[in-house]
Amino acid sequence: AKKNLIVQLINYKMYYKNSLPHWGKHYPKCNGRKQSPINIDTQKVVKNQELGSVDLINFSLPHTMKMLKNNGHTVECELKEGAVGVRGGGLKHKYTALQFHFHWGGKDLVNHPGSEHSLNGHRSPLEGKLTTINYTQLLFIFFLQESNEKEKQKETSQVWESFTDYLQKIPRKGKIAPFSMHQLLKGVDLSKYYRYNGSLTTPPCDEAVVWTIFKDPIRISKDLVQTNSFLIPNNSMTFYEIEGLL
């Protein structure tokens, strides 16, 4: 099953490594000035006290995850319609969460990290994105996940290990175990994040996305990260330079 999955992902027509230079020819917005992902230079960010903490609605409830699936270039977890939302953090509206998905690196996590965004030039081995929508405006909330000492990541890793067990069943779709989104995000301070206006990271590259990148990483074991990297080949991309980070 693992071998078949890797073949399918490598041959996907939108595979980042081979397609990125050609996107602008067919999708003009991909040549825009506010393209994502970016490198976050912490020496240049401007502190905004008015933004406040992000409120993740119903993230502590079990059974909000609907289904895991392989969509051809990543692992995606569908959320139950209307069950989970996001508000606060300077946002004008409540946003409904649709799904979250992942970006892994190669098996060599030092030379092939998986995160699309970077912090001071450093990319993490793994990232997760929560995708939300409110009318026509999209919002992506971005989580960094990286390994740490055993004592600091033990509890979180246990939850992620259960979640990873379901990844082993891909490409066959399957229902999710009854644990909550809050358990997966344990240890993340929702009041500390970076915010900027950017774009979708794949065509059509619309520049209508509000990005929120949380400062605290989700801490899971190195072995668990490497397990995920084995399942999914490198599906990250290069980043752009941008100004005006809040």
In 3D space, the residue among 152, 138, 151, 167 whose CA is nearest the CA of residue 225 turns out to be 167
Active site residue 103: no
Peptide bond into 125 cis (omega under 30): no
Q: Count CB neighbours of 27 within 10 A.
A: 16
In 3D space, the residue among 133, 118, 140, 125 whose CA is nearest the CA of residue 211 turns out to be 140
> Helices 222-231 and 150-167 sit at what angle, rounded to 10 degrees?
20
Q: Pick the catalytic residue from 73, 101, 103, 117.
A: 73
Q: Is 29 helix (H, G, I), strand (E, B) or coil?
A: helix
Question: b/e for 77-103, b at 16 or more Cβ within 10 A?
Answer: bbbeeebbbbeebebeeebbbebbbbb
Two tokens at 28? 């003009």
Amino acid identity, position 197: N
List active site positions.
73
